[in-house]
Amino acid sequence: MADDGTQYEVRSVKTVRGLEAKPTAKMQAEGWELVTQTPAPLLRTQLTFRRPKKKLPKYALPLAGGAFLILAIIITIGAITEGKTPQTATTPPPSAAATSQEPAAASATPVASSTPLASATSPESTLTANQVENFLKESYGIKTSEPWSSLCGVDKGFYPYPCAISQITLSSAVLRIRVQDAITEAKAETYAMYALNFLCATDDYTKKFAEVTWVEISDTSGGARGQQSAAVNRMCQVNR
């Protein structure tokens, strides 16, 4: 394709391999053009998009230059005027000086506050189980209003896992996912890894899902069958 001199802005997005359609459609709706699709480590794909840069109107630069020139003239006139204005030094009366020193003396004495300060190390959690569940549903390509059972019968590797989900809860940074099948401990640990992979694969992982530190999988037996920590998940470690 011949070079028409158009300047482009470029943006790259990473997503889970096999789920490129959703971010591609979103970016194209915003006017971006898909340029390359490159496999990345840890079952991810890097999508590169571009779109033409917006051109400034021809009169924009002259107007900006004129505005700066006017501003410079105003500042210069103000400086000259200020230099010619005589300044009268005034000495505050003793009572005023004494009054002005009292607040400074009072501020030197700490005042105990009855209101506890907010902790900077343990902010209040704002993430909900419903937000995580909706994100996972969209990641698997179904609408948030659809049940997990709509994935049943889809033959794509680990899709039988979300098909069997019956409940998702979030408490004390632990995401608990209950499935309706009886599963082995090894499979439950794999399912926990899948869930963390999806959460940690987002570009804004640290803003949205970083407070999820564990994923725990339980089945019809009633107890936890498998779990994984974000501290050992490779996808989470890459995006921290």
Beta strands in 162-230 (DSSP E): 165-171, 174-179, 214-218, 224-229
* Single pTM value for the model: 0.52
pLDDT of res. 217: 92
- pLDDT recorded at residue 58: 61
Burial class (CB in 10 A: 0-12, 13-18, 19+), 55: exposed
Question: Which CB contacts under 8 angstroms, 24+ apart, belong to 202-206?
Answer: 202/135, 202/239, 203/13, 203/14, 203/239, 205/236, 205/239, 205/240, 206/239, 206/240
**149-192 confidence digits (pLDDT tens):** 888 877 656 666 788 898 899 988 899 999 888 888 888 888 88
Determine the pLDDT at residue 168.
93
DSSP code at position 55: P
- What's the CA gap between 219 and 164, in Å, rounded? 9
pLDDT at 37: 92
Which regions in the chain score pLDDT beneath 70?
Answer: 1-4, 56-68, 78-125, 155-160, 203-204, 206, 240
Tracing tokens 């209040």 back to the chain, one arrives at 124
In angstroms, the CA 191 to CA 189 distance is 5
Residue extents of the structural domains in the chain:
8-52, 129-239
Q: What are phi and psi of 203, to 5 degrees?
A: -65, -30
Bridge partners, 171 (sequence order): 174
Q: How far apart are CA 81 and CA 142, in angstroms?
A: 69
CA 66 to chain centre: 40
Contact 129, 175 (CB under 8 A): yes
d(C-alpha 231, C-alpha 172), whole Å: 16
Residue 122 is given by DSSP the state S
Sheet containing 44-52, strands listed edge to edge, beginning at the edge strand earlier in sequence: 8-16, 44-52, 33-40
